[in-house]
Amino acid sequence: KPQLVASNDHFCRFLEEYCPVVTETYYPTIWCWEGRVQTLLRPFITSRPQVQYRNELIKTADGGQISLDWFDNNDSLYYPDASTRPTVLLLPGLTGTSKESYILHMIHQSGTLGYRCVVFNNRGIAGEDLLTPRTYCAANTEDLEAVIHHVHSLHPSAPFMAAGVSMGGMLLLNYLGKTGRDTPLMAAAIFSAGWNVFESVESLEKPLNWLLFNYYLTTCLQSSISRHRQMLEELFDMDLVMKARTVREFDKQFTSVMFGYRTIDDYYEDASPCRKLKSVGIPVLCLNSVDDVFSPGHAIPVETAKQNANIALVLTSCGGHIGFLEGIWPRKCTYMDRVFKQFVQAVFEHGNKIFSM
């Protein structure tokens, strides 16, 4: 049974009534219950629902561009009026895009409820060109702020919330910690966020974890920027960046330099959402598994979360990183998908009751 951590009794009762999945026993798939196995297998096991996107490129203040993929859900029976159709902004993980299976499942869940979705693809990884020598990181929220402002300006009367996965969840938490209540978002859902980047990279540098995850993730990061090498070579020693063998080395040579940090430790401190959790000003539900090697259980800020009435943590003993597989053959819905669906529906249809119960 998951551990529900929330200091606000009203928020707890709201979740128990309208998002009961967070109080149900989670039974991981028996033949792949271990966290690393769940993490490795989910992309291969889970289905990929068909989603038809409408792409939009928006310009940024520095001359760059951001790719947004819209699922307009114009056939929505529950919300036929597009101006008031609830909207969910989705933030994928570190090298993820709108094509990730977990994003497709979130959109499928939202579509059945009649909602509209828009996926925020980080700069340069969804096929669009880099117009400036700048990509993205977990600490810098400028692009996310621009996207939230843009989406809200298009549909100012529509209920609006966001969900972030892994680094997308870290970015969303850092944004919420910065803005407090000054955001058009009603609420947010966070899945498998890395709470303390120092602890995350240390865990990923253990020999087996480096072999299974760290090296592959580093090559994915390098691949995401190699297409833009000509643009980036003006500012970076790309040969050195391409020699990185860990995420920490990549961040030291590339990410921290790009965003003007004096040291990589300065960047990792700024990127860690645990340091901004007290300032979050809207209801946020966070799902983590304590066996997640990307976000080890001892680094989850349980005591800090108890100091903010807006925060609820749901902690499972198994599930890995963006895993949460359940059932004998977990092709379709995962525990994470069910938490997402119930919480989004609870916010959009009963959100006024979160702090008034």
Q: Which residues are known to be catalytic?
A: 166, 292, 321
**Secondary structure string (H, E, C) spanning 137-190:** CCCCCHHHHHHHHHHHHHCCCCCEEEEEECHHHHHHHHHHHHHCCCCCCCCEEE
Residues 309-346, buried b or exposed e (16+ Cβ, 10 A)? ebbbbbbbebbbbbbbbbeeebeebbbbbbbbbbbbbb
- The residue among 166, 209, 175 whose CA lies nearest residue 295 is 166
Bridging pattern class, strands 188-191 and 284-289: parallel
Which H or E run contains 284? strand 284-289
- Tally of CB atoms within 10 A around 90: 28
Location of structure tokens 């499928």: 108
Which H or E run contains 288? strand 284-289
Which H or E run contains 201? helix 197-204
